[in-house]
Amino acid sequence: MNSNALTISAKQLTIKQISKYLANPGRITLNKDTKIIIEDSRKVIESILKNEKVVYGVNTGFGKFSEKLINPKDVVELQKRLIMSHAAGVGRPMSKEIARLMMLLKIKSLANGHSGCRLEVVQMLVEMLNRNIIPVIPRKGSVGASGDLAPLAHMALVMMGEGSAFIIKSTLKSGMNEWQRVDGKTALEKAGLKPLTFEAKEGLALINGTQAISAFGLWTIIHAEKLLKTADIVGAMSLEALNGTLTAFDERIQQIRNHPGQVKVAQNIRKILDKSQIIASHKKSSHRVQDAYSLRCIPQVHGAVRDALTHIESVFINEANGVTDNPLVFSKTGEVLSGGNFHGAPVAYASDYLSIVLTDLASISERRIEHMLDTSISELPAFLAKEGGINSGFMMAHVTAASLVSENKVLAHPASVDSIPTSANKEDHVSMGTFAARKTAEIAKNLETILAIELLCACQALDMRAPSKPSKVTAALLTMVRTRIPFWDEDRLMYKDINMSKDFIHSNRLLNECEKIGGNLV
């Protein structure tokens, strides 16, 4: 039985809970108090309808049509047409992982009791996740205000029995699920669920919000956090392979700068390279007084990325636990207030910041790769080829890394500085946060590949340093890598080695082995 059960309550969701849920989705439930809060919120909407008050989104049109009063008999039809007209997304579907996270975040937002939905609506999303119904949600089409209208509308379509969804066709012998794409009605039927008819305010509550931005952003943060320690490990291996010095990692240097990330990174490097014969030999044999910035400034750069990610994570966790709907229901006073909580500016800025720091982490990795391949710097065979000329060695692996770094630089251009007015200037300033978060996820994937290429080069260079011995930790990592990726004695299929190296990183085997031998990194 899956132990990763998740109860949605007034308590804040944490990054740890979200990460555990994504890794192994368990059953979601709403606690008793949350159900009461949701029902109290709905009573306010029902009172408005009964007393025929005019409230935006309840009995009016939307956007520029907010001044249009809707006949009471058309209120339900209004919600249906809202969802269908706003399901205007295009492009490849979101990954199932990100779509699942988007649904979880929408449940949490609605469960705060400021959206006016019936309990049945929130429970439908819960049951769809519990029964593995993942809506097919195109990734393009949102400007991040009024929230992620198009992506969330595609999610809501399936709740109505429309659109399409992924469901589990079978479970393979490997334990992996085989998925199939079916129409929304079939997906619900196979799971024993009936389509919902949205009532007043419910369609609007479902599509208003920043859950698509937040899903992409949180996914990237979770994966980026795993790469931070990996970057320290691979950077340390490169420093050792380049016969560098640990002087720049002295604890006293870090302490007087006052940045916590920098202190942690230097501590990790010292731990990984403790008692390295190669590093010790630097003092006797190297003519370099100082290493290049990509080595000497690892604490300053890697550390700054860590500190930035701490801030970025706090922004996204605040957003995940907040309410980004409009209008908002306050059941204690019976008021419904119209505001702008759907605007994605906070998470748009944070996404762009994340793009920048991950791009720079990839950039400094690429510089270390280049140093290892340049014989005038490394004093090793050119391109780490044992017999250059007939062999190209790691020449093209570096080209791949360079291409990904350049791609990242373009993707890191901030999306949040752009705005195109929509809805006849009613929605005249938008965040473009969804694209900001979406491209950040791509940058993180590229970063993982670049670190994998650096790992390959560092292992090759360390082998070429023999008979000088690396540190105990590095030696263990090198041995582990060599169980699947042999020394590059002569040219072979490079992409296979890159993919195997990525697997060491993505599966956390590299990190786990490092901490097993040398103790936990900070």
- Residues labelled as active-site residues: 56
DSSP string covering 160-219: TT-SEEEEEEEE-TTSPEEEEEEEHHHHHHHTT-------TTHHHHHHSSSHHHHHHHHH
- Separation CA 463–CA 489 (nearest Å): 11
Query: With contact defined as beta carbons under 8 Å apart, do 437 and 102 qualify?
Result: no
Angle (CA) 441 265 515, round 5°: 85
Q: For the stretch 81-116, what's the b/e string if a residue is b when 16 or more beta carbons lie within 10 angstroms of its beta carbon?
A: ebbbebbebeeebbbbebbbbbbbbbbbbbbbbbbb
Query: With contact defined as beta carbons under 8 Å apart, do 147 and 214 qualify?
Result: no
Query: With contact defined as beta carbons under 8 Å apart, do 440 and 351 qualify?
Result: yes
Q: For the stretch 273-283, what's the b/e string if a residue is b when 16 or more beta carbons lie within 10 angstroms of its beta carbon?
A: beebebbeebe
A 10 A CB-CB count for 345 gives 17
DSSP string covering 477-492: HHHHHHTTS----S--
A 10 A CB-CB count for 256 gives 6
Residue 165 pairs in a beta bridge with 135, 182
Query: With contact defined as beta carbons under 8 Å apart, do 369 and 454 qualify?
Result: yes
Length of the chain: 522
Provide the 8-state DSSP code for 459: H
- Separation CA 233–CA 504 (nearest Å): 12
Burial-class residue 4 by CB neighbours within 10 Å (0-12, 13-18, 19+).
middle
Residue 328 pairs in a beta bridge with 337
410 in helix, strand or coil?
helix
Q: Which of 228, 240, 157, 132 is nearest to 457 (CA)?
A: 240
- Separation CA 374–CA 383 (nearest Å): 7
- Separation CA 348–CA 248 (nearest Å): 36
Query: With contact defined as beta carbons under 8 Å apart, do 453 and 494 qualify?
Result: no
Helices (H), 4-131: 15-23, 32-51, 75-86, 96-111, 119-130
